[in-house]
Structure 1
Amino acid sequence: MIRKAFVMKVYPDKHDEYEKRHKKIWPEMVEELKNHGAHNYSIFLDKETNQLFAYLEIEDEEKWRKMAETDINQKWWTYMENVMETNSDKSPISKDLKEVFHME
């Protein structure tokens, strides 16, 4: 497994809405994430900075990159656009983090 972590930002007044939408994540979105090799996916919120920290494990980088091209992922990005910082293609603005320590 490949461990990945990244940060994003949610709008200050949208914390509850962001969480609500993820508590009711679409089953077809979860299925597609799994189909693209995602496991152990978690997102954490720092309410003081509005920063989201995401962690997941993937099977393969290329397989994971193709997730962005799926119809359901494009639909999810559109759905989430009004609650978080996004790029012009509606993808979340995100920054990958470098792993500097891991313990099993």
Structure 2
Amino acid sequence: MWKPHAPPPQRITKSPDPESQQRNVRRIAQIVKLKPEFLDKYKEVHAAVWPEVLQQIKVCNIEDYSIYHDPATGILFATFKYVGIDFEGDMERMRENVKVREWWAMTDGFQESVVPGAKNSESGSPPWWKELEEVFYLE
């Protein structure tokens, strides 16, 4: 689901834990299309995301995760920060979680990928959500 095409701009920050390594902070934005007949269901399930899924997202070093919807186009726009030191490893750990895979199977059914050849979130390649290139950022 979160496999990037090209590395986005990164910024190195010191971890609040002095014993841990420095970490890369990556801002990631992605899109996918929501099937219009699933708008209400999509909002309903995201109003009560399964605790196991929320926990795994945090364990995999994802913060500030938001999803927006454009009703005119049906596009879902997601943005989050990856604050760990091993993005690929964390995304593999995400895929290993049975409840996350169940969540993806459910929510993928509500969506249409805009990535040619994408099969589902679990496969990871090509990614289900299309990653967007960051062209401007003001901190």
What's the TM-score, normalizing by structure 1?
A: 0.88
More helix per residue: 1
Long gaps (5+) in structure 2:
1-24, 122-126
Q: CA deviation at 1:68?
A: 2.6
Counterparts of 1:81-96 in structure 2 under 5 Å? 81-85=108-112, 87-88=118-119, 90-91=120-121, 93-96=128-131
Counterparts of 1:4 and 1:81, CA distance in 2: 19
Matching residue of 1:71: 98
Matching residue of 1:10: 34
Counterparts of 2:90 and 2:37, CA distance in 1: 30
Counterpart among 60, 63, 75 of residue 39 in structure 1: 63
Q: CA deviation at 1:63?
A: 3.7
Q: CA deviation at 1:69?
A: 3.2
Counterparts of 1:19 and 1:40, CA distance in 2: 18
- Residue identity (%): 32
Q: Would you say the 8 A contact 1:38–1:64 is kept in 2?
A: no
Deviations 1:41-94 (A, max 9, x none): 000000111100000001232244222332222111122132112543x32731
Secondary structure at the counterpart of residue 100 of structure 1? coil
CA RMSD of aligned residues (A): 1.6
Long gaps (5+) in structure 1:
none
Q: Would you say the 8 A contact 2:52–2:100 is kept in 1?
A: no
Secondary structure at the counterpart of residue 68 of structure 2? strand
Secondary structure at the counterpart of residue 17 of structure 1? helix
Higher relative CO (CA 8 A, sep ≥ 6), structure 1 or 2?
1
Q: Which has the larger radius of gyration?
A: 2
Counterparts of 1:23 and 1:63, CA distance in 2: 28
TM superposition outliers: structure 1 runs of 4+ over 4 Å: none
Matching residue of 1:21: 45
